[in-house]
Amino acid sequence: MRTKYQIEAYRFSLFLAVVLLSVIGVLLIGSAEPSVQSKQIFGLIMGIVIMTVLSLVNYSFVLVFYRIMYIVNLGLLVLVELVGKSSHNAQRWIRIAGIQFQPSELCKIMLILFFAQYIMEHEEDLNTPKTIIKMMVLFAVPAFLVLNQPDLSTTIVIIFIFCMILYAGGISYKIIAGALAVIVPAGIGAFYLLVHYGASFLKDYQYERIMAWRDPAKYLLGNGYQQNNSLIAIGSGQLMGKGLNNNVIGSVKNGNFIPEPETDFIFAIAGEELGFVGCFVIIALQTFIVISCLIVAKRAKDMAGRLICTGMAALVSFQSFVNIGVATGIMPTTGLTLPFVSYGVTSLVTLFIGMGMVLNVGLQRRTHN
């Protein structure tokens, strides 16, 4: 039986917002690091095609294969452990058929799809100890593999996504309260011990990033170097910025004071070259995408559709907040990219995959309130 779509419900505004934000990203990447711009353009074109196709494919059909998705996800993460390529103190990339990509980025989308279907199937017994333990184990295995790369920042992202999906799926408030009663004091205690006595569970560079955020002056020429120059770059852009691809001598970017500006600190390039107006547009588009996902979630025909949209909203909002927070100095350096804007073909394409699923959920919205 063919699926009947409500074409008038297709969220063209969300489609255009995603494409526009990605185009801004391509322009900023071209200014920050021209040598990789063509790769990002390729990723953008491929992403648009994939998003368009997936937006017309019944997400319920895709979720039939949720167990296979989980197994493939684990297989890719294990391959990273066995034959992954190392770079910048981490082993996160693999090459298959001549294509290099980062499985941890795909893991975010795979887990959203897997748990969307899993929770819908266990909607009636979601709050039983048996189901909760199963979900925790199913989540812990890929989370551990990502953490072991090491990739603490991505691990935190998928933990946040998982928690938001559980919340939207109807996890008991008693369980939430109990978890917070343990996690919040433990987190405060761990941070205190970290600051005053160090932490063996963190890599040296991770510990130094946190300390550089806490005491920037002390680490000004070390781990605080990028973040300090990011603040200077953003402030120097003022209202309208210095312009893309400018040749201003006093430019922080042109002076190469921000290493790898096309990834983690792309927002600093936006601040310097597009100014407050450009930064506002980027944040407004990110916010619009998140709100659109939540609106589609509210109108979804079933629990799985609601959780897909909630997961994507959690992914874009959390990662955007952290990336911009790092660039503006309100959070320690994490290594997270800015969704749709930072360079990264794997990240861009996987985000388009998720948005394609959201668009299809929107096509099958409930016909009643």
Q: Is the pLDDT of residue 225 over 90?
A: no
Cα 139 to Cα 119: distance, rounded to the nearest angstrom: 12
Q: Is the pLDDT of residue 367 over 70?
A: no
The percentage of residues in the chain with a pLDDT greater than 90, rounded to a whole number, is 64
Q: Is 252 helix (H, G, I), strand (E, B) or coil?
A: coil
The residue among 5 and 273 whose pLDDT is bigger is 273
Average of per-residue pLDDT across 36-54: 96
Would you state the pLDDT for residue 269?
Answer: 95
Would you state the pLDDT for residue 129?
Answer: 92
Would you state the pLDDT for residue 267?
Answer: 95
Cα 241 to Cα 193: distance, rounded to the nearest angstrom: 42
Mean pLDDT of the chain: 88
CA torsion, ordered 183, 71, 76, 60, to nearest 10 deg:
-90
Q: Is the dihedral of CA 150, 35, 101, 316 positive or negative?
A: positive
Average of per-residue pLDDT across 112-140: 95
Q: Write out the two tokens for 85.
A: 């390529």
Would you state the pLDDT for residue 257?
Answer: 84
Cα 336 to Cα 243: distance, rounded to the nearest angstrom: 25
Would you state the pLDDT for residue 369?
Answer: 47
Q: Is the pLDDT of residue 299 over 70?
A: yes
Would you state the pLDDT for residue 71?
Answer: 96
Would you state the pLDDT for residue 186?
Answer: 78
The residue among 144 and 225 whose pLDDT is bigger is 144
CB atoms inside a 10 Å sphere around CB 67: 11
Residue 100 pairs with which residues in a beta bridge?
95
The residue among 86 and 326 whose pLDDT is bigger is 326
Q: Is the pLDDT of residue 265 over 70?
A: yes
Task: Judge contact between 26 and 327, C-beta under 8 A.
Answer: no
Among 95-104, 162-171, 311-320, whose mean pLDDT is lowest?
95-104
**What are φ and ψ of residue 163, in 5° steps?**
-65, -40
Q: Is the pLDDT of residue 55 over 50?
A: yes
Among 187-196, 233-242, 251-260, whose mean pLDDT is lowest?
187-196
Q: Which long-range contacts (CB under 8 A, 24 or more apart) does 123-127 make?
A: 123/169, 123/170, 123/303, 126/169, 126/170, 126/171, 127/170, 127/171, 127/172, 127/175
Listed ranges 2-11, 95-104, 211-220, 292-301; the one with the highest mean pLDDT? 292-301
